[in-house]
Amino acid sequence: MVEPPTVPVFSSYRCPGNFEIPQDVLSKEATESCSKISTPLATKYRGYNFELSPEEKIQNPSLYEWNMKKFSSETSERYKFLVIIKYIPRNEMCILRGVAMRSGKEEDECELKLPNR
């Protein structure tokens, strides 16, 4: 079995309510989501916080969301935490676009947590 390419994740993310998603957890989830892009498990992004810029649209990418089920269930009963991935089919490349926290129809974008210096 071929391992999926690792999706680079350079930092942790902090979501409203002081939920923190560690870099290693996010890297694992982002890489798993990328490996599912070409399967029925892939879900196109349905939120409103992430959009493709006109420059990005030239590459004909798509945005996908991946529910971090284990992290969500261990952290909060109310929220789903989603990895948002930009997939570029021409290169078969996945890029982490960010993290969202969703409850029902509400969605908040999580912030990149800058590394301590």
- Secondary structure in 3-state letters for 88-116: ECCCCEEEEEEEEEEECCEEEECEEECCC
Task: Write down the domain spans for the chain.
Answer: 12-112
pLDDT in tens, the chain (117 residues): 456 678 989 999 999 998 999 999 999 999 999 999 888 888 999 999 999 999 988 888 899 999 998 888 888 888 999 999 999 888 888 999 999 999 989 999 999 997 665
pLDDT of 114: 79
Would you say 84 and 50 are in contact if contact means Cβ atoms under 8 Å apart? yes
What is the rounded distance in angstroms from the CA atom of residue 38 to the CA atom of residue 92? Answer: 10
pLDDT of 38: 84
Mean pLDDT rounded to a whole number for the chain: 89
Strands 43-44 and 62-67 turn out to be antiparallel
Q: Which whole-number Å values give the CA distances from 46 to 11, 49, 68, in the listed order?
A: 24, 9, 15
pLDDT of 111: 96
What is the rounded distance in angstroms from the CA atom of residue 14 to the CA atom of residue 92? Answer: 28
What is the rounded distance in angstroms from the CA atom of residue 115 to the CA atom of residue 92? Answer: 29
Torsion angles phi and psi, residue 57, rounded to 5: -65, -20
